[in-house]
Amino acid sequence: MDITHLHLTLAHVPVIGVFFGFALMVFGYFSKNRLLKKAALVTFIIVALIGIPSFLSGDGTKEAIKNLPGISEKTIDAHEEWGEKAIWFIGALGVVSVAALYLAIKNNRKFKMICLITLIISVLTIGMMVMVGYTGGQIRHIELVR
C-alpha cells in the first residue's frame, strides 16, 4: 500500500465517522442515554485518531498525483487548505471527547455539559469535513468542478 492508497482509504473515515458520532450524540443527549453518549465519544476519539494519518498522508498524495493528466493543482490546494482547517476541529473534538469520557467514567456532574459542548464542536467539525470531502472529490471527479 502506497501513501496515496493510504490517504484515499483513511480519508473517508473521518468524514463519515463524524456524522455517525453526531447521530449517536444527538440520540444519546436527548434520550438521556449515557451509553449512547459514551459510544459517540469513543467514535469521535477514533475518528480524530484516524484523521491524523489521513491528514499526514495528504502531502505525499499531492506529490504523487499533481502531474497526472486532468488533475488541477488549484483543486488540490483547495482540498489541502480545508484539510488544514479541519484537522484542528477534529483534533479539538477528539480532545474534548477524551475529557468527556473521563468525566463519564468518574461520574462527574459536568458530563452533561461537556456532552453539549462536544455536540456543538461536532456540528462545526461536520461543516469542515463536508468541505474537505467535497474538495477532495473535485480532484478526480471533474463533474463536481464548477
- Smallest CA-to-CA distance from 47 within 118, 117, 109 is with 118
What would the pLDDT profile of 20-60 be if each residue is shown by its tens digit? Answer: 999 999 999 999 999 999 999 999 999 999 999 999 999 99
d(CA 56, CA 77): 15
106: confidence class by pLDDT, cuts 50, 70, 90: very high
What would the pLDDT profile of 18-27 be if each residue is shown by its tens digit? Answer: 999 999 999 9
Quote the pTM value: 0.91
d(CA 110, CA 96): 13
